[in-house]
Amino acid sequence: MRPAREPAPDLVRHWSMRILLKLVIDCDADAAWRAVHSPRAVAELYGPLLDMAPLDPGGLPTAWSAGDDIPVQLSAVGKVPMGRQLIHASERFADEPAGRVRIFRDSGIPLTGPLSSLDVWDHQMAISPAPGDPSRTLWRDRLVIGGSTAPALWPLLWTVWQWRAARIRAVAPSWAYDPEPAAAA
């Protein structure tokens, strides 16, 4: 009889799961691009379900910039702590047959709370003019999560992402709002 062996560490199962959204929203691609860089617009997407507060005493930036590492505290309904998240912003551009696509990426990681059991958090939002209607935006959203708890967390995050899609559709028209200049007195 041979002694039992534990599996080698590189053979331990690592789960990677995706959540995808593809929407056409009622604002132009420039307005959507500004919105994905705006902590205020992000807060509007998740509010009132989820609140995002800065951990840096200086507060949140007016806009995320490539290379930013911003730690935030997440709370459900503004009261129940959901953990801390590090937002790491980057961006890239891709040329597709229909035109240029701008991609904003948060490759930070949950630091504490229920999502901190994930080893991978890769959220990318691709923004381009909608085919046939440059006054609207084709928004493609991809979240990749990984780790041993990814299968258990996927249904919850999938549900949140469906709610997020509804919120994006609802608030996108406000992103293009440019107030009229005040009348001269």
Question: Which structural domain, as residue segments, surrounds residue 141?
Answer: 14-175
Note the pLDDT of residue 15: 80
Q: How many CA atoms lie within 13 A of 90 on its CB side?
A: 7
**Is 139 part of any domain?**
yes
Domains: count for the chain: 1
Residue 22 CB burial class (10 angstroms; 0-12, 13-18, ≥19): exposed
**Is 1 part of any domain?**
no
**Is 27 part of any domain?**
yes
Q: Which of 6-10, 63-67, 162-166 has the lowest mean pLDDT?
A: 6-10
**Is 137 part of any domain?**
yes
**Is 4 part of any domain?**
no
**Is 185 part of any domain?**
no
What is the per-residue pLDDT across 61-85, written as a single tens digit (0 to 9) for each? Answer: 999 999 999 999 999 887 899 999 9
What is the per-residue pLDDT across 79-133, written as a single tens digit (0 to 9) for each? Answer: 899 999 999 999 999 998 878 999 999 999 999 999 999 999 999 999 999 999 9
**Is 9 part of any domain?**
no
Which CATH number does the domain housing residue 169 bear? 3.30.530.20
**Is 84 part of any domain?**
yes
